[in-house]
Amino acid sequence: MYGGMSCESNNYGGGKISLTITEPKFKTLGQKTKILTGNHAAAHAIRQAKVGVISAYPITPQSPVVEKIAEFISKGKLDAKFVKVESEHSALAVCCAASVTGSRVATATSAHGLELMYEMLPWAAGNRLPIVINLATRSLGAPWSVWTDHSDFITIRDVGWIQFMCESNQEIYDTNIQAFKIAEDPQVFLPSVVAYDGYILSHTMMPVTLEDQQDIDAFLPPLKHHINLSDISQIKGVDPVTTPHIRNRGEEGTAPGYYEYRYALQKALENSIDIIQQVHDEFAQKFGRSYGNGLFKTEQVEDANVIIIAMGSVASQSKIVVKKLRREGLKVGLVSLKLFRPYPAKYLKELLKEKETIVVFDRDIGYGYEGVLCYELKSALYGLKKSPFIKGFIVGLGGRDVTNEHIIDGVNRALNQAKTGEISQTTEFLGLKLDQLSDYDESTFFEEVKK
């Protein structure tokens, strides 16, 4: 098992801030440090963010988040309304409505739950509601699978949400606290999703430092919303039909068209990168924990000519591989993407402009094309005078273990292809076990498995 009970700090090098990190050891766990699962780390962050309304529906592997929140409320540790809805679609609809009524809100989900919420995702973004979703990532059926991959997380990339991916339970807690502050920044006002690998983090216990409530309160002041229907002296029509054109309201000036609304959404996302970094740095100054530059974490990138790019659990695994390959003399480094949307293209381009070979490991796939991280990176590096050789691999869909050997295999394959310069357009899956299927035939597989 990678990462599991490791006490290593998640503080990769290469960040803007250099801080001395106190690495928690089991023998010297501070009073503030608890041993928590990723789900419970998320629940504690939501409690300490003092949300007013929570709404959720159970789904594996997310459910312990909301069970814990229900426990907090019943024990009087959180003064919030928990709307126990009949579907995830309703969960996010409740969150949107509670947000326009002026409350800080949160929910949590996985896979099919997120897909059922889909209609409400662009609604929340378009209305600029600072909702935070915790997502314990899980693969999408059919066939049914409850195990992790990043398919669910990837499907919501075009709806206007800020998307974070975490690598440790401490990072889940810290990112949640930051996510509320970022989402509620007057220059941002965007919903955000804090994701972490289902089971691998959601159900694995790690030491997590829970900060004192007064310190969290000072860092995250109460929400000052741009909309608050509970103030009935302010009469508002929220989200009516909006035309393709600017509308003249006479003495009251002009009303924007849909196009202007959506332009403003894109600009808010683009500009949020600065706020995301500011909030990350402020958090690091105050609490002594940082995660690269707040956008991505790097590991031995500076002198590396081979770079691995991955997200979440795959990045954690790759970190071990980097150490191993370095011992063998390969100048390899790692970029672990923390911020997936807005995509930090400019920063990646600057970081990677002189690298020779980049190997991207996707625990997702853009079906019909290739891994999403891979093709987005290719797009981000477009226009470099000397393009690095970029090779992507699919790994670990549906919870298939991603091992050191898979990552090393991918690096070697990429280096071999880089030598010949032959750019393969075929999507390569690592860790497939077709050889263990006695009579695998691509053309009849679908019929065979039904027998």
Partner 1 sequence: MVKVMDIPEEEFIYPGTRACAGCSMALIYRIALKALGPNTIITVPASCLTVLHGMQGFCTTKVSVYHTPFATTGAAASGIVASLESKGLSDDINVVAFAGDGGTVDIGIQSLSGAVERGTNFIFACYDNEAYMNTGVQRSGSTPPGAFSTTTPEGKTGYKKNMAKIMEAHGIPYVATAISSYPLDLYEKFQRAKGITGSKYLHILAPCPPGWGYEPKNSIEIGRLAVQTGFWPLYEVIEGKFILSKDSRRFLDASKRKPIEEYCNSQKRFRKISKEEIENHKRYINDLWNEIGQRLEEI
Binding site for partner 1 (CB under 8 A): 52-53, 55, 79-81, 83-87, 89-91, 93-103, 105, 119-120, 123, 229-230, 232, 234-243, 247, 249, 252, 254-256
Q: Smaller CB distance to partner 1: residue 53 or 172?
A: 53
Least distance from C-beta 125 to partner 1, angstroms?
13
Least distance from C-beta 227 to partner 1, angstroms?
9
Specify the DSSP class assigned to residue 77. S
Rg (CA), the chain: 22
d(CA 51, CA 92): 15
Q: Smaller CB distance to partner 1: residue 78 or 325?
A: 78
Token representation of residue 367: 């079906």
What stretch of H or E contains 449? helix 445-450
Torsion over CA: 239, 241, 246, 251 (sign): negative
Q: Smaller CB distance to partner 1: residue 16 or 84?
A: 84
Least distance from C-beta 285 to partner 1, angstroms?
32
Specify the DSSP class assigned to residue 141. P
Least distance from C-beta 98 to partner 1, angstroms?
4
d(CA 4, CA 38): 11
3-state secondary structure of 247: strand
Q: Smaller CB distance to partner 1: residue 37 or 103?
A: 103
Least distance from C-beta 156 to partner 1, angstroms?
16
Torsion over CA: 415, 417, 419, 422 (sign): negative
Q: Smaller CB distance to partner 1: residue 72 or 173?
A: 72
Q: Smaller CB distance to partner 1: residue 254 or 266?
A: 254
Least distance from C-beta 380 to partner 1, angstroms?
33
Q: Smaller CB distance to partner 1: residue 54 or 273?
A: 54
Select from 319, 316, 340 the least CA-distant residue to 201: 316
CB 192 within 8 A of CB 135: no
Least distance from C-beta 86 to partner 1, angstroms?
3
Specify the DSSP class assigned to residue 310. E
For 353-403, give the DSSP string: TT-SEEEEEESS--TTS--HHHHHHHHHTTT-SSPPEEEEEEE-GGG----
Count of other CB atoms within 10 angstroms of residue 159? 20
